[in-house]
Structure 1
């Protein structure tokens, strides 16, 4: 029975893998499942178990300048990739904003997009530093389930789309995500400068709102190929929808927990304080 299940799983794996983009064959270990899956397992372990255990009897590290450099570098990297992708697709590459099929061609434009997707995967992996900075400073409350799931999904989706759909309809969502990341990491950079900038960062909560809006807009856009045939596989559209719905639910839950319920608690406390004390 077990052998039969294993054989079926292997057949399914080979069937799914047969649809991958063969243009990236030989591009390096980072494109392969045998690298990315152990990397994600190691990341989750280090974030939730190994890292906190290592820091248990150690003092928090002072990483202010490293964090400043990382935040500005990440913002610049996302701005660069946004510009390059935009020029190759929607703003100079002839892409349709309504619906765009996948190419997998060997022309200059298609190969340039593929190469960008390959290098951008490294930017996604570098985002793991967010987590390790929190762990090294013993800010374990920041390493929430949302934080770890989000970073895991970001890297996994980057690898998945590189292998199966690195161009086409999915790219508008990627451009929006890169623009959001530029804003986010500029905020993180300003916040890391210290108390002098904090009075000007009143717009912090709107970052989560921006991310939620991002998910909704991209969800609406990625559903178009399901109803309108433009050469983008419906299977990939459904896969993207599932991933986006998960992200949307997680971020809405975070917003409710962080802002809505906090306001309710503060309101209740104010109401209690306002009541006349009984003698």
Structure 2
């Protein structure tokens, strides 16, 4: 029985390798799902079990300088990703409606493949958000949503990049998410810089509005697919998943907005020291990568929902 199970796994692995787009097969972490799945499993174990136990009897590290460098580096990286998505089609040849997957090896298609992979790879860099939480003993920030977002998002994106890397309607949400992360990481970079920069963070409330706008744009854009008579060269499963992501997180953040800014059920600020990966103690909602926010990302999948707080997507 074990032999049959092993044989089935080997066959599945071979099948996936044969279906991987040849244009992206040589990129790091794209040879098979085994590598990235191993990394993400190790991440979950570290975030939930190993990390907190290693820090249990240690003092939290002061990592403000590292966080400033990290957050501002992520600003630059995400800005570059947005630019490349635009130049690969969204600001040049795409119609913003039924934009097809490009199966050719044209310079534009290869450029789109590179930025799609870079967006995917950036999700592994973002795992450092959780590392900062652990080392600073901010375990309360490492919620189920935070860990789920940081692990599930790159896992799902491997399938998209490996099977359909060259554009299509599905790449729109990645461009929008990277745009939001530019703003988000800039905010958290300032927050990590210390009390003297608190006066420049008056726009914290609008981070939630930016996240809601992201979900609206993504959901409306992808919803066009359901009303078109014909839109070939798409993968319906990706369309459905993106629509569900957008709607789910829109509802999540709408509830946060109502609770925090309409009903006023926000926790009082305890002080002005940076919290999280550079965020302040007040509730902040951000969705990153569609991240349901983490480091302050609106973690389309990296978030915290507790007593009125939603963190990092």
Q: Secondary structure at the match of 1:23?
A: coil
Structure 2 residue ranges without an equivalent (≥5): 269-313
Q: Secondary structure at the match of 2:104?
A: coil
Q: In structure 1, what is the equivalent of residue 105 of structure 2?
A: 106
- CA deviations over 1:118-165 (Å, ceiling 9, x no partner): 233222210011111111011111112222222223322332221123
Distance 1:256 1:262, change over 3 A: same
- Distance in 1 between the 2:50 and 2:260 partners? 27
Q: In structure 2, what is the equivalent of residue 244 of structure 1?
A: 246
The answer to whether structure 1 residue 217 and structure 2 residue 194 are counterparts is: no
* TM-score (normalised: structure 1): 0.82
What's the RMSD between the two structures over aligned residues? 3.0
- CA deviations over 1:75-127 (Å, ceiling 9, x no partner): 001111111210121212x1111221111211111111112222332222100
Distance 1:239 1:208, change over 3 A: same
User: Per-residue deviation at 1:261?
Assistant: 6.5
Q: In structure 2, what is the equivalent of residue 124 of structure 1?
A: 123
**Residue pairs, 1:38-57, within 5 angstroms:** 38-57=38-57
Q: Which has the higher contact order (CA 8 A, sep 6+)?
A: 1
Bigger Rg, structure 1 or 2: 1
8 Å CA contact retained: 2:119, 2:174: no
- Distance in 2 between the 1:114 and 1:164 partners? 11
- Distance in 1 between the 2:127 and 2:225 partners? 32
- Distance in 2 between the 1:118 and 1:265 partners? 39
- Distance in 2 between the 1:213 and 1:17 partners? 37
Q: In structure 2, what is the equivalent of residue 88 of structure 1?
A: 88
* TM-score (normalised: structure 2): 0.74
- Distance in 1 between the 2:15 and 2:243 partners? 22
Q: In structure 2, what is the equivalent of residue 72 of structure 1?
A: 72
- Distance in 1 between the 2:40 and 2:261 partners? 30
User: Per-residue deviation at 1:13?
Assistant: 7.8
8 Å CA contact retained: 2:259, 2:266: no
Distance 1:2 1:258, change over 3 A: farther
- Distance in 2 between the 1:75 and 1:156 partners? 23
8 Å CA contact retained: 2:84, 2:111: no
